[in-house]
Structure 1
Amino acid sequence: MNNQPASSSLKWSLRLGSLAGIPVYIHATFLILLLWIALSYWRSEQSLAAVIHGLGFILALFACVVLHELGHALTARRFGIRTRDITLLPIGGVASMEKMPDDPRQEILVALAGPAVNVLIAGLLWVWLSLQGALPASSSALLEGGVLQQLLALNLFLALFNLLPAFPMDGGRVLRAVLALRMDHLKATRSAAAIGQAFALWLGLVGLLYNPFLLFIALFVWIGAMAEAGSEEVKSLLHGSTLEHAVITHFETLSPRDALSRAIQLTLEGVQKDFPVLENGQIVGVLTQDDLLRGLQEQGALASVASYMQTDIPRAEIHEPLEKVMKELQDCPCHIVAVTRGGQLAGIINMENILELLRIEAALKGIGTGTS
């Protein structure tokens, strides 16, 4: 139902396999949904066949959701954008992309690809049911028919629902891209988010009067609009910035042979929480505050840093875009990226320093706006 830049972790997710080279995961909460559906059918029908039928229908519906997300992913791939994974959630699917296209025309194509897949599935089902003479006489009878008739109706609903002009639905992205053809991307996002929130308010009012479930959708749309606007603000503030703008060059380090007591001393003397571990001038690990506390609980202050440091340290050249590294840090358990210049360690960067830069840039732009 929705495509996002890659940033969320895959905790509590189980890998099902891959499609077109893209890993497909199922979140643990989706399994809870399946259990709830199974219990509901059992309580109402007291029949194992009914339970199997109900679960089969839900799985078929979510297979259509996976194909919807695959439509987004394969279209994005045409424009050189990688999709990290597709994850199934109880509310739908999420294709985690590296980014959305910068070209509004490309963003329109990527956004429309998902609903187009649902329309295609509905069209194929319509042809098949027509050939079988099983197509209901009216659209209202579709939901009262068999599995294929219901899948046809729900695919049409998914296409229409996702085309609503509000984030995080695909229609919101289409609206933003159309606006971006006439104004800069940030203003287009703000306008699309405002339209989405106005739509959410209207939907919430309708929900209060007629259907409480619409309140949930309204909240979902409102939060999605806020998140998209916030994400675009960050992207705008970081535009053109490289690691050189935020790299930390003055920091305390540890040796693999140091005891954890040394990390305690450095922690208490300053504000640094995560410590690069150097050997012969090269970074070989990071001791995070969580690692330190775990080591103290397990072995005490005399345990060696080498026993608890993390050794899988991401590295980035100092001229790489800051926005790209920020996304990597969001998923990095070590909290630090080693910044290099020509292969030599030039400093480190963490999320706290990027957030400080964002606050400074926001203040500077606020001052500039007020005086212009």
Structure 2
Amino acid sequence: MDIVILAVVIAVVAVGAITGLLVSSRRKKLPPSGPSSTPTITAPPAEPHVGDEAGPPREESRRTIEEVGLPDATATPPAVEDPVVAAPPVAIEIPEPSAGRLVRLRARLARSQNTLGKGLLTLLSREHLDEETWEEIEDTLLTADVGVAPTQELVERLRERVRVLGTRTPDELRALLREELLALLRTDFDRAVKTESGLDTPGVVMVVGVNGTGKTTTTGKLARVLVADGRSVVLGAADTFRAAAADQLQTWGERVGARTVRGPEGGDPASIAFDAVKEGIAEGADVVLIDTAGRLHTKTGLMDELGKVKRVVEKHGPLDEVLLVLDATTGQNGLVQARVFAEVVDITGIVLTKLDGTAKGGIVIAVQRELGVPVKLIGLGEGADDLAPFEPEAFVDALIDG
């Protein structure tokens, strides 16, 4: 019994202790009393109640739900079209006439070829033309890329004629040198670019050459030459292996109003050439210019590609002209390229580019002697109208007279 009473007493004491702890804890959490510790509570600004300062109600007519027209759920909302921004029209340029263009570029040609012409005249004007002088004349010609065989031929003829003449006034020497250089350049060549088929189809000109020689640029400049002479032109961008070639050619064409037929990058060049001629026939164009790829990875691959282009073009009509573009600054190395292309396709004419940037104008003589075909056009600068028909007389006069 005593044990029970003792347990009850212990329980009561424990409950009292726990109650005291809880009350003490709650008191500690309450904020301290006193006026200085009372928190300041700022009431929100009073807001107007609904109806405050409202005017008297107005009588308005109201429609029922039945009277309100609902939109047709099946109706298609009008399409909002994007504003069309018209591209500014490309200004059509009027190219410089090709007639006499080389004469107008004579000063530029004379500056770059000064070594050849003036050097020869200086050597020939010496009082004593000994063996050493003739060797210097020969070296001057070889340095200008005239070629070994033409150089030997020219020196022998000069030696013989100087010996026969006896006297060598400056005018006589100039006339002698002019005559011999013209003989090497062959004034009997037909240098006109063939752009007439003789049929009801356009004349077709295929432009070939190694990439980097200015082939695509030359094609665009040739279009300007033809347009300047009153011919209508369609361009075929058959160089599909160089990404920028088609864009570059199209830009040239747009400047003179010539349309460019092109295909996808890496597409079939023969197919594009075929479509270009077809388009030229449909438009009644005078000339179709076809820019081809200039890869020289293997002679066989080049032959297959150019041969295929030639075959498909000739399904429409004859191929009137095949122009080989050579970089004059490559000198004798350009002759190696010329031989490869001459073996692949029948070259009918040569275009020498960058002739203003070299003193190796003798390449004109060398390449004609190598291929047996005439130089028909020469490039004398970066300008759009710096492609000129090659005129042997004007060329030699620029060399000799400056």
In the superposition, the TM-score normalised over structure 1's length comes to: 0.24
Structure 1 or 2: more strand by fraction = 1
Higher relative contact order (CA 8 A, sep 6+): 2
- Structure with bigger gyration radius: 2
Structure 1 or 2: more helix by fraction = 1
In the superposition, the TM-score normalised over structure 2's length comes to: 0.23
